[in-house]
Amino acid sequence: MIVTETNTYHDEHAKFCEEKSATAPIWLQELRERGLNQFHELGLPTTRDEEWRFTNIAPVATQSFAIAKVGAFVDSQIDQLIQQAELDEDFHQLVFVNGRFAKQWSHLHDLPGNVIVESLAESIGHCPNTVEGRLAGNGDFEQSVFVSLNTAFVDDGAHVSVPDGVSVDRPIHLIFLSASDKPTFCHPRNTVSLGKNSRATVIESYLGFEGARYFTNAVTKIELSESAELSHHKLQHEQPNTLHVATTSVHQQTQSRFRSHYFSFGGDLTRNELNCTLDGEGIECTLNGLYMPTGDQLMDCRTEINHARPNCNSHELYKGILDDRAKGVFNGKIHVFPDAQKTDAKQSNQAILLSDDAVIDTKPQLEIYADDVRCTHGATVGELDEQAIYYLRSRGITADLARTMLIFAFANDVVQGVEVTAVRRHLESILLSERGLPNV
């Protein structure tokens, strides 16, 4: 990577650390400093870097961002946006505004014994030893410039911990809202840990106010113990003229089950990285995704599944629907290690271009170092079927409705894989209207 101008982040980091030094434990201060040093060493990537050659992050490199302030919003606006973000009142709900926990808009129902659902800042205060291990991990921040940047500013986010043998029946909904009339950034850090034979559903929603200008850099770390089961959903509804970069890291142990459902509708430039390590036998990993850029939006989806042990299965289906001058990027990598015999891995990326000016760059990858495996991948790019449109119109259906019906049918494979009814209905309404959440 080529080091680019990072002085803005250094100056903001100095202000941030000065503000937090009185309450932050020593290990957290040192972690933040290590993150900043690694960020400077790596530097912001350019299109000359292989992993970024289709995604130009000049808006991140050239624009000055300041730390988002907690009070840069009006309560009535928050109320209205939360009403649009809420999927079901029966869900557990944690709300974060400009990266900070907002207790007044959060609510938890009765939780099973010893389950923790709270803000990361709270957890740092009363169980620092547990949080320290989950934040530092195995040096994840050393591998990614944006994870390093997130670590440099780590302060708040969601902390979810489910002990052995416990099932959390209600989904846990994490809502992240951004509001500012000046260029600001926030760095939510989420940790999700499930013990042996436990089960949970987690939903992450990202939204912002109309006209807001911000950069969200989110990191979520997920740890699944033996026979644990997690259904993870991410709904990205950021505003136009905003930047969204996110990294989700998943570590699975023997017989665990992980299902990911990713949906991207908003933002000017978005990049979502999902890295899964299957570190035990009998693991199931399913990744589903749908991205729908329009206008001049750029949406970059990166997935990596590391089959480190034998007898594991992974299934991946990502679909893109691109209109106007939009650009999509998909890079899906499956890495089968030498010991991972009897691996069964399937990957598919499909895209529809609704405009002659829309562009998709797709790169499915297989790296196989074992000889007794079954791995497939594929990518297709096409347009709406003109004959199908003609057939529908000949039955009295308008051109716009025919187009919407075909788009819905194309995306339905991904949407119908969502187990949570409220989430599925929310997505169906977006597809039928071909637009994201209404503006505030």
Locate the domains of the chain by residue range.
7-279, 385-440
Q: What is the pLDDT along the chain (440 residues), one digit of tens a residue?
A: 333 455 667 778 888 887 777 678 888 999 999 999 999 888 889 889 989 999 998 888 788 888 887 665 667 778 888 888 889 889 999 999 999 999 999 999 999 989 999 999 999 888 777 777 778 765 565 678 999 999 999 999 999 999 999 999 999 999 999 887 788 899 999 999 999 999 999 999 999 888 888 999 999 999 999 999 999 999 999 998 899 999 999 999 999 999 999 999 999 999 999 999 999 999 999 999 999 999 999 999 999 999 999 999 999 999 999 999 999 999 999 999 999 999 999 999 999 999 999 999 999 999 999 999 999 998 999 998 888 888 888 888 888 888 888 888 999 889 999 999 999 999 998 887 754 444 44
Phi/psi of residue 142, nearest 5 degrees: -75, -10
- The whole-model pTM stands at 0.93
Instruction: Kindly report the number of other CB atoms within 10 A of residue 346's CB atom.
Output: 16
- Which residue do the tokens 């989700």 mark? 248
